[in-house]
Amino acid sequence: MIFMKKMHTYGSIVKLKNNSNKLMIVGLCVEVNNKIHDYCAIEIPKGFSNKSSIVVFNNDDIDTIICEGYIDDEIKEYLDDLEWLRSKDE
């Protein structure tokens, strides 16, 4: 898992360095094939069609943040916990 200073939340729309498609983050700290990734996302406007439509990536893969997603106190606390875990790994 590779963290930058800030984790982005559910619903955030991003573009990756190696992909010009817009992606909406739908999951945080996702394990795929025994490897932890910072995010999983779906391509928009296509959305989810099957498990192969899920894209996994890390914070350092993000090129552009188009918009930030939904956040409330519960999600903020969860993101803070992820940041605490990140600081332990550094």
User: CA of 44: how far to CAs of 10, 15, 24, 53, 67, in Å?
Assistant: 14, 11, 7, 10, 13
Distance (Å, whole) CA 31 – CA 73:
25
Res. 67: pLDDT tops 70: yes
pLDDT tens for 8-55 read: 899 999 999 988 899 999 998 888 888 888 899 999 999 888 888 899
**What's this model's pTM, rounded to 2 decimal places?**
0.81
Number of Cβ within a 10 Å radius of residue 31 = 11
Q: How many other CB atoms are there within 10 angstroms of residue 76's CB atom?
A: 11
- Domain residue spans of the chain: 13-89
